[in-house]
Amino acid sequence: MVDTPRLITPEIAEAYDVSLHTVTKTWAQHPQWPEPVGKRGRYKEYSAQDIADFIRDHVDRQAPTLEPTRLYTARELEAAGIGITASTIRADRARDRWPAPDDTTGGVNRWTGATATQALEGRRGYRRSTEG
């Protein structure tokens, strides 16, 4: 019989480069969080595969495929399903956490799809798009 790898919460936090608080107070509170498969010391053990599946399905977000040269407003980016709202883009822009617009014609901020995709890839929880 092959034993499947098991992880406790500190190992999960280390493996996914997040705080223990994120694992215990955010992820583990999610209704789809996997059931423990055992116990090690004072910690519950979880199947490493179950955790990987949870992260894939509920934490990681695939960066959307945007047309690289098309100009998008913040609302258009939100509508494209990037996972953040137009108001978050504007707030992050004001705090220098979102890039300067590529075009401001008519007083409207617009970003190319390439600029927005690059900005999203730098945000926690986004993976580089594998489609080309």
- Residue 76, CA distances (Å) to 7, 87, 110 in order: 41, 12, 9
pLDDT score of 61: 67
Rg (CA), the chain: 19
Q: What is the CATH number of the domain that holds 121?
A: 1.10.1660
Q: Residue 78 has which token pair?
A: 């939100």
Q: Are residues 75 and 117 in the same domain?
A: yes
DSSP helix/strand/coil, 61? strand
Domain that holds residue 107: 62-127
DSSP helix/strand/coil, 72? strand
Select from 20, 39, 59 the last residue of a domain: 59
Taking phi over 0 as left and psi of -120 to 50 as alpha, with beta for the rest, 83 belongs to left
Q: Are residues 53 and 78 in the same domain?
A: no
Q: Are residues 35 and 80 in the same domain?
A: no
pLDDT score of 123: 73
Q: Are residues 40 and 73 in the same domain?
A: no
75 found inside a domain: yes
pLDDT score of 17: 87
Q: Are residues 123 and 72 in the same domain?
A: yes
1 found inside a domain: no
Q: Are residues 50 and 76 in the same domain?
A: no
132 found inside a domain: no
Count up the domains in the chain and report the number: 2
19 found inside a domain: yes
pLDDT along the chain (132 residues), means of 10: 84 92 93 95 96 86 83 95 90 94 96 92 58 42
Closest CA to 112 of 64, 71, 80, 66: 71
Q: How many CB atoms are located within 10 Å of the residue 126 CB?
A: 19
Q: Are residues 70 and 111 in the same domain?
A: yes
